[in-house]
Amino acid sequence: MEQALRICPLFGGMTPEEARRCLACSGAAITAHAKGSLIFGETDPPARLYVLLEGAVSVCRESAQGRRAVMAHIDQPGDLFGEVYVFLGQASYGCSVLAESPARVLGIPGRFFYATCEKGCTVHARMIRNMLGIFAHKALSLTRRVALLSSGSLRRKLAGLLLERRRPDGSPIPGMNREQMAEFLGVTRPSLSRELAAMRDEGLLELHGRHIRLPDPAALRRLCEYPE
């Protein structure tokens, strides 16, 4: 858990001891979830926000026709989810989160962020300031996703997604399989597979099972007008 807390932006500027003290004061709890299990459902009251400690989860929403749309895929220890819904003042989350693999998560009661405790401890105030910064970055990320999904052709969307998730060595951050990528981009899996194969044949990417390597990121930037 300490490794996840060290890299989680919610605990930025805190020592491990300060982070543990904040969590004890907040009433936070760690829970384990099997692959495919529900961490919270669309109709559940938004009482807690969560920090991923191990594994991977997907934030989803069901359409009236029963089709599942993946809103976000989270697989990095220290990543947050559910935090936006805690502060909206609505009766339910309005989305669900599923464990894509065996996962452990830290749930923090949302009420902890509404005011500092009676002791006026500086670490509590620090965590609240960190949350404001997280929301600012979240707003920027959502703006970029809207731009990605409205960028035009499937090829341009794919190029933008792969560039955003790539590692410095040219490969994207692992985690999304083909089905998850298709759901994220709002296309069918066969359409996605055909486009990936076409981009491979043109030398724009290399396919190695679940992983995708980008041998020439500059070519993809030109394709989707992605900023340097």
Contact 61, 96 (CB under 8 A): yes
Q: Residue 228 pLDDT more than 50?
A: no
pLDDT score of 118: 64
Nearest Cα neighbor of 213 from 158, 176, 167 is 167
pLDDT tens-place string over residues 60-71: 988 767 777 888
DSSP codes, 167-201: -TTSPBPTT--HHHHHHHHTS-HHHHHHHHHHHHH
Q: Residue 226 pLDDT more than 60?
A: no
Instruction: Tell me the pTM.
Output: 0.65
pLDDT tens-place string over residues 90-130: 999 989 999 999 999 999 999 999 887 666 577 888 899 99
At the second CATH level, the architecture of 1-122 is: Sandwich (2.60)
Intervals of CATH 1.10.10.10 along the chain = 151-223
Gap between the Cα atoms of 214 and 221, Å rounded: 11
Intervals of CATH 2.60.120.10 along the chain = 1-122
Q: What is the CATH number of domain 151-223?
A: 1.10.10.10
